[in-house]
């Protein structure tokens, strides 16, 4: 939704894209949605579902993080590859490119817990893009073992950002053959928890 605020123009001129003036009127396009980026990594779509609920609540630009070389379909091969990447510090190259990251004030970053850590592709993202001076808001799904060190790693990789309280919920457990769970009563529950969380951190519309 766009909010237009019309103010009487008194001796003001601006070249800012958000402030346009004719001779008598200053128009401020007060649209917070344009400043919000929601970037997420998701393999079995649980984190994607959380990202979409956040997007419904706050608007903004929703972006799926994709890799130049996707992970294998096989779960255990992926677990082994991720463990090796974490061990060596390998940052997988991203196919996704974000246009003009500077224009965003608020960046939500969503990811599953992988090996009790932040997944390597999200480490790539945080290494590649400068989020200093921005609000960074992590969100997570996991197989029942929590966020591990992932939220702490976000803080470490964004030393000059305002890293806010994150959101986490239990998602699937691919290891046990449980893939997508964000439907029915779980979806309703998560929708309500997300609304409360957004209100608590003051980001809701
Ligand atoms: C490579 C890999 C490693 C995982 N490691 C963990 C883990 O350490 N702890 C945990 O609770 N869940 C772990 N999971 C389960 C995911 O965090 C969980 O299924 C999550 O909801 C998946 O999100 P997605 O559907 O957005 O991909 C792992 C899943 C994968 C694929």
Cα–Cα nearest to 135, from 109, 171, 117: 109
* One domain for residues 52 and 18: no
* One domain for residues 1 and 76: no
* One domain for residues 103 and 87: yes
Report the residue among 84, 114, 149, 179 best suited for mutation to probe ligand 1: largest number of ligand atoms under 8 A from its CB.
Answer: 114
* One domain for residues 147 and 179: yes
Q: Is the CB of 140 under 6 A from ligand 1?
A: no
What local confidence, expressed as pLDDT, does residue 92 receive? Answer: 98
* One domain for residues 146 and 159: yes
* One domain for residues 173 and 191: yes
Residues forming a β-bridge with 25: 8
Range of the domain at 1: 1-30
* One domain for residues 89 and 64: yes
* One domain for residues 5 and 70: no
Alpha carbon of 65 to those of 8, 121, 131, 133: distances in Å? Answer: 43, 8, 16, 22
Is residue 111 within 8 Å of 48, Cβ to Cβ? no
Q: Is the CB of 72 under 6 A from ligand 1?
A: no
* One domain for residues 13 and 47: no
Using CA positions, which residue lies closest to atom 5 of ligand 1? 114
* One domain for residues 60 and 3: no
CATH of the domain at 102: 3.40.50.360
Tokens of 63: 């972006």
What local confidence, expressed as pLDDT, does residue 32 receive? Answer: 52
Q: How far apart are CA 173 and CA 35, in angstroms?
A: 34
Per-residue pLDDT of the chain (205 residues; tens, 9 = 90+): 444 444 433 333 333 333 333 343 443 434 455 599 999 999 999 999 999 999 999 999 999 999 999 999 999 999 999 999 999 999 999 999 999 999 999 999 999 999 999 999 999 999 999 999 999 999 999 999 999 999 999 999 999 999 999 999 999 999 999 999 999 999 999 999 999 999 999 997 6
The residues, any chain, with a CB within 8 Å of residue 50's CB and separated by 6 or more, are 40, 110, 139, 141, 167, 169, 182, 190, 194
Q: How far is the CA of 37 from the centre of ligand 1 (A)?
A: 23
* One domain for residues 17 and 90: no
What local confidence, expressed as pLDDT, does residue 136 receive? Answer: 98
* One domain for residues 54 and 72: yes
Domain count, the chain: 2
């Amino acid at each position: 939704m766009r909010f237009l605020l019309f103010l009487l123009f008194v001796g003001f001129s601006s070249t800012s894209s958000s402030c346009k003036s004719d001779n008598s009127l200053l128009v401020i396009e007060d649209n917070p949605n344009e400043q919000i980026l929601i970037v997420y990594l998701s393999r079995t779509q649980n984190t994607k579902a959380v990202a979409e609920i956040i997007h419904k609540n706050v608007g903004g630009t929703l972006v799926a993080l994709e890799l130049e070389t996707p992970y294998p379909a096989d779960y255990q091969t992926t677990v082994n590859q991720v463990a090796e990447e974490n061990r060596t510090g390998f940052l997988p190259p991203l196919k996704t490119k974000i246009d003009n990251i500077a224009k965003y004030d608020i960046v939500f970053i969503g990811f599953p817990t992988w090996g009790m850590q932040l997944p390597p592709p999200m480490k790539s993202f945080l290494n590649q893009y400068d989020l200093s001076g921005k609000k960074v808001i992590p969100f997570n799904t996991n197989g029942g073992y929590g966020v591990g060190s992932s939220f702490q790693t976000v803080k470490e990789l964004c030393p000059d950002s305002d890293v806010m309280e994150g959101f986490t919920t239990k998602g699937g457990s691919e290891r046990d053959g449980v893939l997508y769970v964000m439907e029915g009563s779980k979806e309703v529950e998560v929708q309500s928890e997300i609304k409360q969380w957004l209100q608590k951190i003051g980001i809701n519309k």
